[in-house]
Amino acid sequence: MADVGETPSSFKRLAFLSSGTREADEARQRLVAKYGDAPPEDADCIVALGGDGLMLRTLHRFMGARKPIYGMNRGSVGFLMNEYREANLRKRIAGAKPSIIHPLLLRATNTHGDEFTAHAINEVSLLRQSSQIAKIRILVNGQERMPELVTDGVLVATPAGSTAYNLSANGPILPLDAPLMALTPISAFRPRRWRGALLPDVAKVRLEVQEAEKRPVSVVADHDEFRDALHVDVEMDHATELVLLHDPGHSLEERILREQFG
């Protein structure tokens, strides 16, 4: 039964997903008893209970479905999540601010000729997979921009992902509505002082692994890893929209802005 004072909304059918921890499972049981539980494919909104890892998995699972996703923190990291509260949930969801996110589209070929395709909400990263440092050629829109980056790795990040691995690699924080992608080196050796680049979000980036047999490199799209990469193409998939819901005053845009001021 809905809480007293809760207003009707378009979010009548809620689906609750748990990260699988005891804390998240217990929260799901209480919320299901209070609000019911619709099948995810029939739900008006999906409520994810866990941390940012669960949110990313949920976004991937329902990519292309345009279902709004409202997360509540029952995990260790909750940058993408709202504060956990059980009361007036439908009213909170109805008043939440939507954030529209476009993922990156990855197309990769490995040294064996196998081809891979994946989406990334945070970033696509290339990482050396042996003791040998990686050598990577960078092209943007078909034009060579760097003939050889000698590095532990390099990544392309979305604005939503700019506060994740990209920030740990000293990349720039991007406003959520900025039409940009961040291209950020990971422990670059040469050029030693290259800090990366900001690219328009319509750019097409190609990363070519040099001496791939001697210096093997893996490519990771969020949680999906492909080994022995030869060349990797990355672009923003503007045709795919993901909808995150956040409480007023705690939108993803506001959180990204706060990160820039500590």
Residues at the binding site for NAD(+) are 52-53, 57, 122-123, 152, 160, 163-168
What does DSSP say about strands 229-236 and 205-210: parallel, antiparallel, or unpaired?
A: antiparallel
237 included as an active-site residue: no
CA distance 94 to 169: 37
DSSP for 132-187, please give it: SPEEEEEEETTEEEEEEEEEEEEEEE-TTTTTTHHHHTTPPP--TT-SEEEEEEEE
Catalytic-labelled residue, pool 3, 25, 42, 52:
52
Nearest CA to 172 among 260, 80, 77?
A: 260
Tokens of 231: 């060349």
107: which residues sit within 8 A by CB, 6+ positions away? 115, 116, 117, 232, 233, 234
Write the CA distances from 158 to 111, 203, 248, integer angstroms: 27, 12, 23
Q: Are 166 and 176 in contact (CB under 8 A)?
A: no
The secondary structure element, H or E, covering residue 92 is helix 89-94
Annotated binding site: 52-53, 57, 122-123, 152, 160, 163-168
Distance of CA 124 to the CA centre of its chain: 9
Name residue 143's beta-bridge partners.
140
Tokens of 35: 């609000």
Active site residues: 52
